[in-house]
Structure 1
Amino acid sequence: KVRSRDPNQGEFLQAVDEVLSSLRPLFDRYPKYLSVLSAVCEPERVIQFRVPWQDDKGDMQINRGFRVQFNQAIGPYKGGLRFHPSVNLSIIKFLGFEQIFKNALTTLPMGGGKGGCDFDPKGKTDSEVLRFCQSFMTELYKHIGPDVDVPAGDIGVGGREIGFMFGQYKRITNRHQGVLTGKGWGWGGSLIRPEATGIILYIGYGLVYALDFAMKDAGECLAGKKVTISGSGNVAQFAAEKCLELGATVLTLSDSAGTIYEVKFYSPHGLIIRAVIKAHVHFIELIAEHSFCSIHRYFEGKRPWSVACDVALPSATQNEIEKKDAESLVKNNCKYVFEGANMPSNNDAIEIFKKNGVVYFPAKAANAGGVAVSGLEMAQNSGRVHWSREEVDAKLKGIMENIYNTSRDTAADLGHPGMMTGYVSLCDFQLGANAAGFKKVADAMIAQGQVF
């Protein structure tokens, strides 16, 4: 039914297929949940709008904005805004669909939603980004609110963009509300550090916390392990920082131009890796300027997945690990794949991981730290209070531990137990995470009379 309605929305269809194809054990055990399928796969509301703005030359530019409010069964719609040229309805729907279950796994009262625009902030001046954000919010404000829909940041939307949009929201509504998360310290955001909002930092931190819980469950530890990371943005940077802090060796970072390999970091714990790699030459210049690391090799146009490692953390974008990449990781004895990006492994790759005993932890569970801290920011805004970094970090660790345990225990309940020895995993964390999130949302929908 989904395919017949949206045959050209490839990313959305892939996301639906990944979830539903994994849930057969849930439906076999609890047939009542079959009644919810159609409703869960259809957004409650899809909003598309024009975003006109003026560039610095005085010329009018037009972009296309989206907000998909997917499911409000357990709380207000919650999900980021992505500003990137690739944004279209299929991508926003895939992200919103994933967000339903990710938010449910955090145990916080948040429904699923997502939004964005095909605007590219790269190469734009601050004044151009300001005018765009003000125009974008002039339409979006009609559809959001602290008890309705609370957007956050995503690719292309950081502290600058959140600040510009929040300022416009206040200007229009005359209200200082927790209507966006990822705000700066001093005006509603979590206290982290000057150069990072809590939401972005904690996607990377939460990813590594989940990995650490899994390794301890297997009688292992992260110290001494070799880690490959894709991406060079905020998620990759802070995942690398936390891996280094826990004693791992980070071998790679990457971007669309290629992969740097055998990175050696000179700075001690607490390092923030500022490696935004536009090209190899630029990265060498960055090293010379800051002297915080050295690089032995550079693979132009290559992804990191041919590098031998113990742990892979795909943290760049969707579908960056295909079948051949998964086969290469298995061949090189990678034992853990934890997803920092949204849907970075395609369905063929996931099957290869699971068949070969790789501990595969899907994005909706592994990268839930960002939206978890978003939810904590919402709570602080509602209570007109603030928590210290240590308090937020402790709460995040508890949430990530609960996500890991819930995914493991739900898989066990459905006949795929979480017994892990010698790096061999018999636990289907994909099933566990999808089923745990689905059950929570479905139970709420049934209780509220939305399914008959």
Structure 2
Amino acid sequence: MTSIDEKLQPILAKVIERNAGEPEFHQAVHEVLESLGRVAAKHPHFLDDALIERICEPERQIIFRIPWVDDRGQVQINRGFRVQFNSALGPYKGGMRFHPSVNVGIIKFLGFEQTFKNALTGLPIGGGKGGSDFDPKGKSDGEIMRFCQSLMTELHRHLGEYTDVPAGDIGVGGREIGYMFGQFKRLTNRYEAGVITGKALVYGGSRARTEATGYGNSYFVQAMLETKGTSFDGKKVVVSGSGNVAIYTVEKVQSFGAKVIACSDSSGYVLDENGIDVALLKDVKDARRERIREYAERRGEGAHFVPLEKGSIWNVPCDVAMPSATQNELSGRDATALVRNGVIAVGEGANMPSTPDAIRIFREAGVLFGPGKAANAGGVATSALEMQQNASRDSWSFEQTEARLNVIMRNIHDTCYETAEDYGAPGDYVLGANIAGFTRVAEAMRMLGVI
């Protein structure tokens, strides 16, 4: 707790005591509280009425059983979660994650981060998150449908376009969103399109939603680079992951003139010195759902696969690193390697992918560092635009939606940049994002009374 203002240390101690065994949540709270010492000194009223403690405590935590029947006729049981963290700015908004690692601590960390991320967008959405320890890998469409229907049979009573609006995340794409929305509609007898986002275009989805997180991260990093008089043009980039976020990060930064030379999945990474072929990557990972090794085999000369046990993707020399897979994937050792190899900017496409040691190393080295709560806000911003289109019974063009996304991401960048300057830490996007997100939520909560 030495890096946290002494007035805030008891708050962190209480969070750790009340949320034992949830290290990811502790880490997320610690990272925000580190930035709030300057706020407490400049605006001491934020210490009144247990305001910070209330922001660190979810409004509601829902844990439930999900029974479903597999293709062999055997009953399986998973656990479902929905943490409705903060609704001071609007209905709870945040994705659903299906992965064996999911537990209540991870969902709380994601919901906490989501609260500030959503605040930074300037759109009227609160923060929440959900998911299950269900693993969709290797499951048939029928099994996934039955699981999603069972999950929504319980969860639907807690959702609504003015209450809580889920979306996708790791393990939850268009297929899963469709099954969940279909069951919601079946149970409620309402076509409430705004109750879930990430929908297919044919039943109320938004153009550019699939691309939004990757595109948004690319816009944010481009804006960071411009503050130093440079751009993506001619830069070598490494993007971890190979899901939607990674794929559309690759696509957008290469349209800016960069060359993405490596991407990964949980089995290892592929190095392609000629630049990642986005069409092939989409075919391997989206259409065929194959491992990244298949990309290297089909790409041929110039591309090769490196298994996880043989090395980290972060050992690949690059100008810009964009971690876009999962939490805590980039360690202090990885950050040291990136700095040694000349990285100048890092943009987090995933939620909290860099460990505290890694963030410290980047900041001390003067690397431009875009934290996830700012840099990857494009996905939820476009989800809010999808809600807007649903509410107005409208559908925007791809170009119109992407233009709005670009403006939102530029505004988020400028807000973080200017807030950091206002609080005496120019260029510190971590501090800028934390303070800007916190003050927006905190001011709303003060005005709403003791909630």
Instruction: Please indicate, yes or no, whether the TM-score normalized by the shorter chain is above 0.5.
Output: yes
Greater per-residue helix proportion? 2
Q: How does 1:260-275 map to 2 (within 5 A)?
A: 260-265=270-275, 273-275=282-284
Could you tell me how far apart the structure 2 residues matched to 1:280 and 1:170 are?
A: 36
Query: Does residue 1:209 correspond to 2:219, yes or no?
Result: yes
Contact 2:296 2:304 in 1 (8 A): no
Which residue among 6, 9, 16 is the counterpart of 1:3?
A: 16
Deviation digits for residues 96-153 of structure 1 (CA, Å, limit 9, x no counterpart): 0000000000000000000000111111100111101100000000000000000000
Q: What percent identity do the matched residue pairs reach?
A: 54
Deviation at 1:6, TM superposition (A): 1.1
Aligned partner of residue 204 in structure 1, secondary structure: helix
Q: What corresponds to 1:16 in structure 2?
A: 29
Q: How does 1:297-312 map to 2 (within 5 A)?
A: 298-301=306-309, 302-312=311-321
Change (3 A) 1:395 1:322: same
With 234-243 and 272-281 compared, the bigger mean Cα shift is at 272-281
Contact 1:231 1:255 in 2 (8 A): yes
Q: What corresponds to 1:336 in structure 2?
A: 345
Query: Does residue 1:180 correspond to 2:196, yes or no?
Result: yes
Contact 1:232 1:275 in 2 (8 A): no
Could you tell me how far apart the structure 2 residues matched to 1:117 and 1:215 are?
A: 37
Which residue among 279, 287, 291 is the counterpart of 2:299?
A: 287
Deviation at 1:89, TM superposition (A): 0.2
Q: What corresponds to 1:420 in structure 2?
A: none
Could you tell me how far apart the structure 1 residues matched to 2:435 and 2:87 are?
A: 18
Q: CA RMSD in A?
A: 1.7
Deviation digits for residues 34-58 of structure 1 (CA, Å, limit 9, x no counterpart): 2311000000000000000000111
Q: What corresponds to 1:424 in structure 2?
A: none
**Normalised by the size of structure 1, how large is the TM-score?**
0.92
Count residues with an aligned counterpart.
Answer: 431
Could you tell me how far apart the structure 2 residues matched to 1:27 and 1:165 are?
A: 43
Deviation at 1:257, TM superposition (A): 1.3
Could you tell me how far apart the structure 2 residues matched to 1:124 and 1:392 are?
A: 34
Contact 2:212 2:378 in 1 (8 A): yes
Change (3 A) 1:58 1:8: same
Could you tell me how far apart the structure 2 residues matched to 1:20 and 1:315 are?
A: 24
With 242-251 and 91-100 compared, the bigger mean Cα shift is at 242-251
Q: What corresponds to 1:109 in structure 2?
A: 124
Q: Which runs of 5+ in 2 are unaligned?
A: 1-13
Q: How does 1:68-79 map to 2 (within 5 A)?
A: 68-79=83-94
Letter in 2 for 1:333: G
Could you tell me how far apart the structure 2 residues matched to 1:442 and 1:131 are?
A: 41
Deviation at 1:341, TM superposition (A): 0.6
Change (3 A) 1:278 1:356: same
Q: What corresponds to 2:254 in structure 1?
A: 244
Change (3 A) 1:280 1:121: closer
Query: Does residue 1:190 correspond to 2:206, yes or no?
Result: yes
Deviation digits for residues 290-314 of structure 1 (CA, Å, limit 9, x no counterpart): xxx8404635433211111110000
Deviation digits for residues 208-238 of structure 1 (CA, Å, limit 9, x no counterpart): 0111111112110111001011111111111
Letter in 2 for 1:374: S
Q: What corresponds to 1:372 in structure 2?
A: 381
Change (3 A) 1:369 1:322: same
Q: What corresponds to 1:351 in structure 2?
A: 360
Aligned partner of residue 261 in structure 2, secondary structure: strand
Aligned partner of residue 65 in structure 1, secondary structure: strand
Contact 1:319 1:345 in 2 (8 A): yes
Q: How does 1:119-158 map to 2 (within 5 A)?
A: 119-158=134-173
Could you tell me how far apart the structure 2 residues matched to 1:294 and 1:415 are?
A: 47
Letter in 2 for 1:249: K
Contact 2:259 2:276 in 1 (8 A): no
Letter in 2 for 1:394: A
Contact 2:296 2:305 in 1 (8 A): no
Could you tell me how far apart the structure 1 residues matched to 2:330 and 2:346 are?
A: 11
Aligned partner of residue 2 in structure 1, secondary structure: helix
Letter in 2 for 1:167: G
Aligned partner of residue 49 in structure 1, secondary structure: strand
Letter in 2 for 1:433: A
Deviation at 1:22, TM superposition (A): 2.1
Deviation at 1:450, TM superposition (A): 2.1
Change (3 A) 1:240 1:280: closer
Q: What corresponds to 2:113 in structure 1?
A: 98
Which residue among 387, 398, 405 is the counterpart of 2:407?
A: 398
Could you tell me how far apart the structure 1 residues matched to 2:317 and 2:275 are?
A: 19
Deviation digits for residues 4-31 of structure 1 (CA, Å, limit 9, x no counterpart): 1112101111111111112211221111
Deviation at 1:321, TM superposition (A): 1.0
With 437-446 and 22-31 compared, the bigger mean Cα shift is at 22-31
Which residue among 259, 262, 276 is the counterpart of 2:269?
A: 259
Deviation at 1:186, TM superposition (A): 2.0
Deviation at 1:340, TM superposition (A): 0.4
Q: What corresponds to 1:195 in structure 2?
A: none
Aligned partner of residue 186 in structure 1, secondary structure: helix
